Structure 1
Amino acid sequence: MEFTSPSSSSFLAPPSGRPTISAPNQTPSTAGSFTTSRLFPTASTAFSTPSTSFHAPGLASRPTTRASTRASTIGRPSTSSGQRSRQTPSIGVRDPEDDIVCAISEGRGVTPTVGICFIHTATGEVVLSQISDNQFYVRTIHKLQMHEPSRIIMLATSCPPYPPSTLYSLIDEHVSQSRLVPMDRRSWSETTGLELLQRFASKEDAESIKVAIEGNFYITCSLAAVMAYLETNFNFRVVPHSLRVRYQPSEGTMMIDVSAIQSFELIRNLRDLRSKNCLFGLLNQTLTPMGVRMLRSNIVQPSTLTDACLIPRYDAIEELVANEEMFTTLIIIPPKPSLQDSEQAINTVLMLKTFLEKVSIIFKALESSKGSLLLKVRDLCSSDIVNPPLALIMDTIEPNVAYVKSPLELRNQRTFAVKAGANGLLDVARKTYQEGNEDAVNYVEGLKSTFNIDVSLKFDNSRMFFLKLKSAGFEDRVVPDVFVNQVRKRGTIECQTLDLKKLNQRVYESAMEAISQSDKVVQELLDSIRLQVRDLFRVCEAVALLDMLAAFTQLATLKGYVRPELTGTLALKSARHPLLDAVSERFVPNDYYASEQYRFQVVTGPNMSGKSTYIRSVALLQIMAQVGSFVPADYAAFPIIHKVFARVTTDDSIEANLSTFSVEMREMAFILRNVDENSIAVIDELGRGTSTRDGLAIALAMAEALIKINARVWFATHFIDIAKVLANKPGVLNLHLATHTAPASKSMTMLYKVATGPVREQGYGIALAKAMGFPDKFVAEAERVSKYLAERKEERRENAEYTKLMRRRKLVLNLYETLKQIANSGMDEGAMGGILVRLQGEFVERMSAIYEGGREVDGSNGMDGDVEDET
């Protein structure tokens, strides 16, 4: 038999055609752009943050893809306890300079309580969480993997050289991108934590946070420890009432297994870490760093709150699409700012000025909005919030000063940013600096006339002013001795002169004095702005949320996505895999339906028929819906899911000395311990890593366990017997990926279309081997062996006398044992008579079934005779 299939990815239509993908008519929107940068980068040079750009309505078109990809997370140092047993790949994409320090305090018991405090050192944001976890600390590990802290502080007695706690061992194994830091017990003080919260949290947030964490001993201890660590190791001080503190409970969010995050390519592409072909890359049409962080956080931990989160997001996206509008429009400081910190402070003010000037555009663009979420965003961008800090800046900073990039322009900007008259010493230093620059220009003009050469004046931060000559002018003569420190580069000569060095020194001293005096004015300005930092944080969050919603609207408009409905049943019409749909126009859509009656779906089919793509699609679409995005389908309805699990890869773990099958069993053990009726589990080819007999038995046992749990499961397998055995189980639905076989040419074509019932095609493995170019003699031998095994199986089925004899013996033996138990039970004659009559009827019925050649069902395990003989 010849096997033919398209060369493109699974679920791409065969050359003959595909069903038409229809989607609601959408009109692309237009949007505008402007440039700004991140708010409040820290003054510490270790955590400085580059600028970025984002868009606002009414100026230019919003790009369909991002121009560049954010840098992946930098490697983290190993733990203090030594080399890790294995390295877990990072699941996130985060700015490496956005450093996060975390402290964990745990209360051990039957239900461990864990208090976590995260501090974003680049934004001055504090996140507090208290988690009621199980003995395996599943939610704690997931929380750490989501935030990816660079350092995790733990109680010293939980870390080596003391016997390590269970939590320490699990973090050391599964959160390999972080460094574990032990800290003495005296730093973990509830009283100190409450005092720090009262002192450093914004006044408006402090009281509400105290109510939220009241009685949460472990959270306040963690806050005290992480603040002590920052002060001791980094000499940081925090401005009073400047931290943005948030309490983030674990409730209300979906837990996605880390294996599922990697297998579904939620954040990174499995084959190419630089590729954007992942769910994060697809949805990341955001244009601000705040939007990127919010999107990433929502993808790895989607919401389960229908009315408070998902419905308002759907309403906002629907309104943005309907109106054809695309909307895009912290504070830890060292006690003694260095010169570079001073320069960074001026840049911070200029970036904040640009940002606040553009927020008013968002306010005007949302003037016609009607949805509650968009109206809330508009209120947060109102002039009452934006104008006070903007007025402070405009009173101090020159209105025409903007952020620049070249070294000389940066130096001039930092020198002349503050308005004249704000500081007398600053005005004097500026005058000296300006005269020095003019002297340098005049000096170069004198060199040109004296030596009759083409010389240009250049500047960089290390050498300051230097000279550049063209090498072509000195082919027949030597460079004059006045030019020293000569460096030849690609047709030019870079050099200095002694007089220019003296001018550089004068310019440098005057520039440093000007920047120092400017910093005094700028620091006073920043102190005034910090009093309004709470409102500025809210504006940033509003812009981040709007940016994420605009990214979702971009996809919904361009790709024809539809708004999901939130119901108790999963129903999808003509749904597409979001990643493959984005890269191919020939993707074949499929339908999905899962309810209480069809919660466990067994998917069979030939190799390359699209089973893996089919089962992964439903999990990706569920996550997209609970992030708040529209989905690629003609109709979509989803239930609210609290956990998503996956067992789909065939990777081993050499570092942990685990084979493919061992990894598979470990992950399935994790799933079985944590899955519940509000979960989705996607399982692909379970049991393929061991022998056929053992693999079938294990897969069948785990399938029956998942059926009893009532989780929604998509179970792809090549074991046809599983489909047959589970066919009559309540809640089970058999599906297969259809193929078309041409009798004349004996060719098989994949249709990538799901159909009911188990697969009926036989010999597709050999057909695929033939298509891959195996020698004919090997294929012929394989066909001979396959035919022989099929005949033997048929012979066993047809050997009715032997089968009937074995079944009769078993039935009689069961009857004998049952009669013995009844005789020894001591029951009265009336009850015994009723039981014997019922037993007689059952025995006659089952014996009649044996003589008629039907299958006798074993009520104890639900397996029919044929499957029982084979397994």
Structure 2
Amino acid sequence: MGSRVLRNNMLQPPTDFDGFIKTRYDALEEMVTNEEMFHEIRKALKLFQDVEKTLTKASQACQLFAVALHPAKSDLLIKIRNLCRPETTVPILLGIRKVIEADVTYMKSPLDLRNQRAFAVKSGISGMLDVARQTYRELTEVIHAHSAEVSEDYRVAASLKFDNRRMYWFRIPTVDLDMDSIPPEFINVIPKKNHIECQTLDLVKLNQRLLDTSNEIIMRSDAAIRDLVKELRRQVPPLFRVCESIALVDMISSFGQVTTTRDYVRPGIEDTLALKSARHPILDKRMASEYVPNDYYASQHHRFHCVTGCNMSGKSTYIRSVALLQIMAQIGCFVPAEFATFPIIHNIFARISAQDSIEANLSSFGVEMREMAFILKNIDNKSLAIIDELGRGTSVRDGMAIAMAISEALIDTGASIWFATHFVELARILADYPGVLNLHLASDTSVGEGGIPQLTMLYNATAGIVNDEHHYGIALARAIGMPDSFIKFAEHVADDLRKRRESSRQSSEYYKEKQRDKLVQNLYEALEEAKKSLNEEALPGYLRRLEEEFNLRLKEIDEM
């Protein structure tokens, strides 16, 4: 049941911090810090197979659940403990016990299941039901007596079996019979390898009488249970609240389990998104210490993040991580990071796949444009969007133009945008726009044996635009095993295109000065945000990193 609540929260994360998110944070923090209470809660939750399906077990388990929550001090857990108090669940359990036998449970074998169904309702509830059950017992005894007579009369070891189709039938080992002269009293004979399955005419008649009696019992029992359900309907509203509360605690306790085992931190809710050493929640579990954490920062002054990098450098994982962590924070879960603050987001949009739609008669580019049209129509300044390699499904010129137009429209919305692209020229143009922050996933190029360039992915998000002079795509094609002749020709074409582009590019002192002014303005805005959002422990490390990025960027501008 907790899984259904988790799914609903992931599809529609709450946006009320004081009413929902903060109380969940407090409850989760108390579970994590109070280890004894946490283990008692987990033990009590194991008694709930599904509260909405097993009412009797739920009523019993609620009492143990309330005891497990006795030490709770957070508002949410106290409220749930009060909802699960015995005054709510004991009357329901007593009402059930008046009608249903205490030892009734679901059985797998057909005969046991039939007997449980026949004797589930207590004696004395219905006189006609008691008479029918007495007849059922007598017929069952007659059938067993008939089985003993068959074994004695024909000197065989006939064992009585039952299934839902034939009801009672005999299984007789072949060693006890002459297969060429089976007694004519045995009917519906089915020969097997080591035995035969059969019935007698008397057994068939007894089966029919037993079936009629069983149907009468089921009809009378259902009538008694319908009356019980009618009485229990008065208790449905508090019972549903109990179900929702237990499901919520189930979800939060699962958060507590992953928080303690994966070293998550409690996020703060601010106007700024700031993450230090954040990790992808799924890859962090699969890769453990091999995963490279990254920092994230977004504010009104840095709301459009243009992420470049070579193939397989981790761009898609980087932008997906921020969306997943935002959802985790808003459903009340701690996040895998050393420090984290999030704003409250009302909409999350994603354009990350490159699949066509045959049923809609759309190519991959058509699907991409349809989804982007939906995003542009619904996005606002309370939204977060991740967009992966927009415009790759058409020509380079058209894809670049469309990506540029859509990027400008997204910047104007004021939403938090994480935009991964291979269009380096797009990143250079957008660098002059307000609110744009260029990032790239770093990689290291070295020379291996035979003078062959080698490419090593660092998976580390760094300020600035990726250096496209190293031909990362060609290096990756060489590593995969493309023939050398193709690689050399591709390098020749790439170098020629780069030289033409550089010759047409105008480099002026005015452009450099403009870039320096913007760099200083961004530094000022970053310091203002750090002053308001970061705590004393995180501030020194952040300032050192900010200084390194400022000096690196200033050096790049001087070398233009």
Report the TM-score range of the alignment, normalised by the length of the smaller protein: 0.7 to 0.9
In the other structure, the counterpart of 2:233 is: 530
Distance in 1, matches of 2:195 and 2:429, equals: 81
Distance in 2, matches of 1:312 and 1:490, equals: 66
- 1:319-346 deviation per Cα after TM superposition (whole angstroms, max 9, x unaligned): 12222214354xxxxxxxxxxxxxxxxx
For structure 1, the residue ranges without an aligned partner over 5 or more in a row are 1-287, 330-347, 801-848, 858-871
**Do residues 616 (structure 1) and 320 (structure 2) align?**
yes
In the other structure, the counterpart of 2:476 is: 768
Structure 1, 691-700 or 481-490: larger mean CA deviation: 481-490
In the other structure, the counterpart of 2:30 is: 319
In the other structure, the counterpart of 1:669 is: 373
1:788 to 496, 505, 515: 496
- 1:2-52 deviation per Cα after TM superposition (whole angstroms, max 9, x unaligned): xxxxxxxxxxxxxxxxxxxxxxxxxxxxxxxxxxxxxxxxxxxxxxxxxxx
C-alpha displacement at 1:616, in angstroms? 0.6
Distance in 2, matches of 1:786 and 1:370, equals: 65
In the other structure, the counterpart of 1:759 is: 466
Given that residues 350 and 402 in structure 1 are in contact (C-alpha distance below 8 angstroms), is that contact kept between their aligned partners in structure 2? no
Structure 1, 464-473 or 776-785: larger mean CA deviation: 464-473
Given that residues 485 and 495 in structure 1 are in contact (C-alpha distance below 8 angstroms), is that contact kept between their aligned partners in structure 2? yes
Distance in 2, matches of 1:556 and 1:475, equals: 70
Report the residue type matching 1:402 in the other structure: T
Tell me, what secondary structure is at the counterpart of 1:539?
helix
Given that residues 573 and 634 in structure 1 are in contact (C-alpha distance below 8 angstroms), is that contact kept between their aligned partners in structure 2? yes
In the other structure, the counterpart of 2:549 is: none
1:384–1:774: structure 2 CA closer, same or farther, 3 Å change rule?
Answer: same
1:430–1:350: structure 2 CA closer, same or farther, 3 Å change rule?
Answer: farther
C-alpha displacement at 1:535, in angstroms? 1.6
**Do residues 587 (structure 1) and 298 (structure 2) align?**
no
In the other structure, the counterpart of 1:309 is: 20
Tell me, what secondary structure is at the counterpart of 2:188?
strand
Given that residues 607 and 768 in structure 1 are in contact (C-alpha distance below 8 angstroms), is that contact kept between their aligned partners in structure 2? yes
1:495 to 198, 214, 220: 198
In the other structure, the counterpart of 2:333 is: 629
Given that residues 468 and 494 in structure 1 are in contact (C-alpha distance below 8 angstroms), is that contact kept between their aligned partners in structure 2? yes
In the other structure, the counterpart of 1:659 is: 363
Distance in 2, matches of 1:322 and 1:385, equals: 29
C-alpha displacement at 1:492, in angstroms? 4.6
Distance in 1, matches of 2:94 and 2:311, equals: 66
Report the residue type matching 1:777 in the other structure: S
Distance in 1, matches of 2:159 and 2:372, equals: 70
Percent identity between matched residues is 52
Report the residue type matching 2:4 in the other structure: R
Distance in 1, matches of 2:181 and 2:6, equals: 62
Q: Normalised by the size of structure 2, how large is the TM-score?
A: 0.84
Tell me, what secondary structure is at the counterpart of 1:531?
helix
Distance in 2, matches of 1:434 and 1:650, equals: 67
Structure 1, 377-386 or 608-617: larger mean CA deviation: 377-386
1:554 to 238, 243, 257: 257
**Do residues 293 (structure 1) and 4 (structure 2) align?**
yes
- 1:757-805 deviation per Cα after TM superposition (whole angstroms, max 9, x unaligned): 111152111111112221121112111211222233334348x9xxxxx
Distance in 1, matches of 2:325 and 2:403, equals: 26
2:418 to 697, 700, 714: 714
C-alpha displacement at 1:463, in angstroms? 2.0
Given that residues 156 and 177 in structure 2 are in contact (C-alpha distance below 8 angstroms), is that contact kept between their aligned partners in structure 1? no
Distance in 2, matches of 1:317 and 1:472, equals: 67
Q: Normalised by the size of structure 1, how large is the TM-score?
A: 0.55
Given that residues 441 and 461 in structure 2 are in contact (C-alpha distance below 8 angstroms), is that contact kept between their aligned partners in structure 1? yes
- 1:72-126 deviation per Cα after TM superposition (whole angstroms, max 9, x unaligned): xxxxxxxxxxxxxxxxxxxxxxxxxxxxxxxxxxxxxxxxxxxxxxxxxxxxxxx
Tell me, what secondary structure is at the counterpart of 1:374?
helix
C-alpha displacement at 1:489, in angstroms? 5.3
C-alpha displacement at 1:428, in angstroms? 1.6
Alignment of 1:704-743 (within 5 A): 704-743=408-447
Distance in 2, matches of 1:782 and 1:475, equals: 86
C-alpha displacement at 1:657, in angstroms? 2.0
- 1:205-233 deviation per Cα after TM superposition (whole angstroms, max 9, x unaligned): xxxxxxxxxxxxxxxxxxxxxxxxxxxxx
Distance in 2, matches of 1:854 and 1:611, equals: 29
Distance in 2, matches of 1:395 and 1:581, equals: 52
Report the residue type matching 1:759 in the other structure: V
Report the residue type matching 1:310 in the other structure: I
1:688–1:471: structure 2 CA closer, same or farther, 3 Å change rule?
Answer: farther
- More RCO (CA 8 Å, sep 6+): 1
Tell me, what secondary structure is at the counterpart of 1:596?
coil
1:485 to 173, 188, 200: 188
Report the residue type matching 1:457 in the other structure: L
In the other structure, the counterpart of 2:528 is: none
Alignment of 1:290-689 (within 5 A): 291-324=2-35, 325-326=38-39, 327=41, 329=44, 351-470=54-173, 478-488=181-191, 491-585=194-288, 586-689=290-393
Given that residues 766 and 779 in structure 1 are in contact (C-alpha distance below 8 angstroms), is that contact kept between their aligned partners in structure 2? yes
Alignment of 1:86-125 (within 5 A): none
C-alpha displacement at 1:421, in angstroms? 2.1
Distance in 1, matches of 2:62 and 2:86, equals: 9
Q: Number of matched residues?
A: 499
In the other structure, the counterpart of 1:748 is: 455
1:494–1:592: structure 2 CA closer, same or farther, 3 Å change rule?
Answer: farther
C-alpha displacement at 1:493, in angstroms? 3.3
Report the residue type matching 2:15 in the other structure: T
RMSD of aligned Cα (Å): 2.4
Distance in 2, matches of 1:400 and 1:720, equals: 71
Given that residues 470 and 491 in structure 1 are in contact (C-alpha distance below 8 angstroms), is that contact kept between their aligned partners in structure 2? yes
1:432–1:759: structure 2 CA closer, same or farther, 3 Å change rule?
Answer: same
Report the residue type matching 1:588 in the other structure: V
2:486 to 755, 765, 778: 778
Tell me, what secondary structure is at the counterpart of 2:139?
helix
Distance in 2, matches of 1:496 and 1:756, equals: 84
Distance in 2, matches of 1:720 and 1:782, equals: 18
Distance in 1, matches of 2:287 and 2:179, equals: 63
Greater fraction of residues in helix? 2
1:563–1:466: structure 2 CA closer, same or farther, 3 Å change rule?
Answer: farther
Structure 1, 448-457 or 468-477: larger mean CA deviation: 468-477
